[in-house]
Amino acid sequence: MLNSLKRYVPFRLRVLLWRAYERSRRTARRLRHAFDPLMPPDDLMFVGSDSSNFKQVGEKWRGTLVNVGGLRPHDRVLEVGCGVGRMAVPLTRYLSPPGSYDGFEIVREGVEWSRRKVTPRFAHFRFLHADIYNKYYNPGGRLAASEYKFPYPDQSFDFVFLTSVFTHMLPADVENYLGEIARVMRPGGSCLITYFLLHEEALRLVAAGEVAAPYDFRHDIGGCRASDATTPEGAVAYFEEDVRRMYEKVGLEVSEPVHYGAWIGHRGALHTQDIVVARKP
């Protein structure tokens, strides 16, 4: 249909129509930002491409945190890798005191926007910048993720979650973070974390070339696999059996089932990445 139209619409007119369409999109975004103070501008979207699905993705994840993770309105919540508030913004309409939200992030701009826009409206939402090195997201970072101590006391939180964080971290970093997550969780608390998990089915599909980039994970880099050997933090996958051992080591119990993601073609998957929920006894 589109090719047929091209034959009848002059090239110059097509260009003008396309420019008008782009202008209307930019105008709509400006209006959206003007009337919605909790909508970040596109140039701050370092997770996802733009603001067009910011609210939809956040709302979907809020449902997952509640229905799969067991998040409750009065929980004390920690988000590791809070980005530019994509999860925090929908949680402002769910968490209420004595419930609270703390988030830390390695990309300073995301934290600064959240502090300006979210915290003044919701005092129980707090954001912190952690200057942690990551070759993909924060190459100038001063701190090593493998040694970073979360800036919160023991047993501070009822619920901890990370989305698309361990998929950009190497084994020593993940092991340290899991230990810190277990430390700051209170007994009976829960955590929800996403991964690319390598199990029998995933390994078969990867070996057969049936999983497209960036999820092909062709490079073995020691304890995990990456799509790009030069900058492995771009996308990292872990063997499920290794992940389970790490949870056991830090004293967390995996809550079955693991919710496998759409990255290997699971129909009806909740999200692209795999979801592991665990509990601290």
For residue 202, the domain's CATH number is: 3.40.50.150
Specify whether the CB–CB gap between 114 and 89 falls below 8 A: no
Mean pLDDT along residues 243-249:
98
Range of the domain at 170: 44-279
Number of domains in the chain: 2
Report the mean per-residue pLDDT for the chain: 89
Same structural domain, 224 and 122: yes
Tokens of 96: 């209420």
Contact 147, 164 (CB under 8 A): no
User: Is residue 91 domain-shared with residue 15, that is, in the same domain?
Assistant: no
Question: Rounded to two decimals, what is the model's pTM?
Answer: 0.85
Q: Assess whether 111 and 10 both reside in one domain.
A: no
CB-neighbour burial class of residue 115 (10 A; exposed 0-12, middle 13-18, buried 19+): middle
Does 201 lie in the same domain as 264?
Answer: yes
What pLDDT score was predicted for residue 251? 98
Q: Are residues 140 and 181 in the same domain?
A: yes
Whether residue 77 sits in one domain with residue 16: no
pLDDT at 52 over 90: no
Predicted local confidence at residue 184, as pLDDT: 98
Q: How crowded is residue 149: how many other Cβ atoms within 10 Å of its Cβ? A: 11
Q: Give residue 49's pLDDT band: very low, low, confident or very high (50, 70, 90).
A: very low
Q: Which strands form 157-162's sheet, in the order they lie side by side?
A: 125-129, 100-105, 76-80, 157-162, 185-195, 274-279, 253-259
How far is residue 6's CA from residue 47's CA, in Å, rounded to a whole number?
Answer: 35
Q: What is the pLDDT of residue 50?
A: 47
The whole-number average pLDDT for the span 198-221 is 91
In this structure, the answer to whether residues 25 and 108 fall within a common structural domain is: no
Residue 2 has a pLDDT of 45
* 106 and 10 share one domain: no
Q: Are residues 148 and 205 in the same domain?
A: yes
Residues 28 and 104 in one domain: no
80 and 101 share a domain? Answer: yes
Chain centroid, CA 136 distance in Å: 14
Predicted pLDDT at 55:
87
12 against 78, higher pLDDT:
78
191, 164: one domain: yes
pLDDT digits (tens, 9 = 90+) for 91-111: 999 999 999 999 999 999 999
The confidence score (pLDDT) of residue 75 equals 98
